[in-house]
Amino acid sequence: MQSVFFEIGFIVVLATFLGAISRRFRQPLFLAYLATGMIVKALGLNVLSDGETLSILAEFGIAFLLFIVGLELNPKEIKEMGKPALIIGGGEVLAVTVLGIILGRFLGFSPTAAVYLGLALSFSSTIIVVKLLSEKGEINALYGRISVGILLFQDLVAIVALILLSSFGSRGNIIRLVLTIIKTLVFLLILRLVARDFLPAFFKRLSVDGELLFVGSIAWCLVLAGAAKLMGFSLEIGAFLGGLTLAATSFRFQIGAKIKPLRNFFILIFFVVLGLEANFAHLSQLLLPTALCVLVVLILKPIIIMALIGSQGYRKRSGFLAGLYLSQISEFSLVLVAWGASVGHLNKDQVSLITLVAILSITISSLFISKDRKLYEKLRHPLSFLEREKVRKERIKVSPEYIDHVILIGCHRMGIDFWHALKENNIPFVVLDFDPKIIKNLEKEDVPCIFGDMGDPEILELLNLAKAKMVISTVADLHDNLELLEIVGKINPGLVTILTASQISEALKLYQQGANYVILPHLLGGHIVADLLEKHWQDLGKLGESRAAHIKELLERRDLGYEG
């Protein structure tokens, strides 16, 4: 027992040190964890006297990882991905998987191993992409939303792939596949009934105590993982379904926040074990296969994504950035590979190949992403062929003859108030928004509008910025607003700019760069309530009039499809 504590302690200390170095160079932590395992193996240190313990801890890590993934896959969000995300995500997975299978067969893989390679290359890292988008404040940008939609689809495909591949032994047959599908349907039916009739009431009782909620969610994860194992599936599938059944509840965020620290520790162990098992003894033989796989992931995969995004009528900037952010392989790819190795579908050299591809693709793509806008500026003209000109023009409702007009960026939430004010005062204006639902509503009202992202310089050119009188941005993205001010300074220095910020420090930066006025929504809300108190303090019963008017306004917005 003392030896196990020492071994795990040594691994955690080394992983912490390497993790600090990884963070210094803005690389994902799991690369440091993989490196930890490789270094331990390369040094020949005797920290594997109880390898079984490490393997069990690694299985817990994957179970908790997939539990969290299921928890974050809200069924409502899946439904809201819409047709474009399904077409783009489905097309990307299919195309890259086929390329990977062809490449695998060329490299001498068996048909089953080639399928693993194709699927592994098709998945992108949800953890890395969402983190990078969040750090840049781009999670709600158009390309950010497209990327997240594709990732959601990929996660679902990964789970289905695990279910189907688990039906095959080392030789596999159609009968086992059919039996697996039947077992899956029965398992899902039982789970649906339990989730509908039992879970909500059970977790509502547990939610009165945060510790009980934490223990109860762990119990549910482990029970489902064990049940899946008993039915012949993998533990990971059961854990994922356990999280998915809780995704529609009001406790999902609280549960996720409590489990993530525990998951992070076990994930560390999983990637360390993967690094320990990777075999780079024949590294020279892996160089050509690795280079070909990295080429598919870093070049061909983004081009496929860009082409699919362009086919749905989005502009090349959104396609380029989404393709760039998705140009790596996923932690799911490594989970899939680990599973394939455990059932004999993949050998150690094949596992090492895909692990090396993961390390290189994630490292290189992270470097590219840090220079995303500079890369786009250099490549914007050669990428024009990926844009459907006809579809793009159909989305544009702006007359080039507009003079002294107002450009309203973002017609959600408070943007609708500006729209009504401009319309009532007969002020010519045009709306820019990246939400298809909002554009559809505006077109029904015959409002001049463009579907696009304010971060795209070409979109701003279409708005006839040079002859505009004012621009109002209701988007609280500091980077995009600063970029807007820079473009305004070059094209129309006299343009009045009213922008939005989420923090006081951001508002001050925008003022320093020349903004005429900056809206801070939380301060604005405080001013409104203060005015209400001052107005009705002598007769608080009159607050009922303001309440009725506000309810009426909210109902009107909801009916128009504005849920902000």
What tens digit of pLDDT does each residue of 393-409 get? 444 444 455 678 888 88
Average pLDDT, rounded, for the chain: 78
Query: What phi, psi does 47 have (nearest 5°)?
Result: -115, 20
pLDDT the model gives residue 36: 87
Answer positive or negative: Cα dihedral of 332, 337, 340, 342: negative
Alpha-carbon gap, residue 440 to 417, rounded angstroms: 18
Inform me whether the pLDDT recorded for 432 exceeds 50.
Answer: yes
Band (392; pLDDT cuts 50, 70, 90): very low
The structure tokens listed for 186 are 């029965």
pLDDT the model gives residue 391: 44
Decide if 422 contacts 442 (C-beta within 8 A).
no
Residue 163 CA, chain-centre distance (Å), reads 23
Q: Which residues of 191-224 are buried (b: 16+ CB within 10 A; e: fewer)?
A: beeebeeebeeebeebbeeeeebbebbbebbbeb
Could you tell me where the DSSP H helices lie in 231-347? 235-246, 252-277, 283-295, 301-311, 316-325, 331-342
* Mean pLDDT, range 406-433, rounded to an integer: 81
* Topology classification of domain 2-385: Na+/H+ antiporter like fold (1.20.1530)
Domain ranges of the chain: 2-385, 398-519
Percentage with pLDDT > 90 across the chain: 10
The structure tokens listed for 2 are 């003392």
CATH number, span 398-519: 3.40.50.720
pLDDT the model gives residue 268: 82
Least confident among 262-266, 461-465, 467-471, 542-546: 542-546
What tens digit of pLDDT does each residue of 81-124 get? 567 778 888 899 999 999 999 999 999 998 889 999 999 999 99
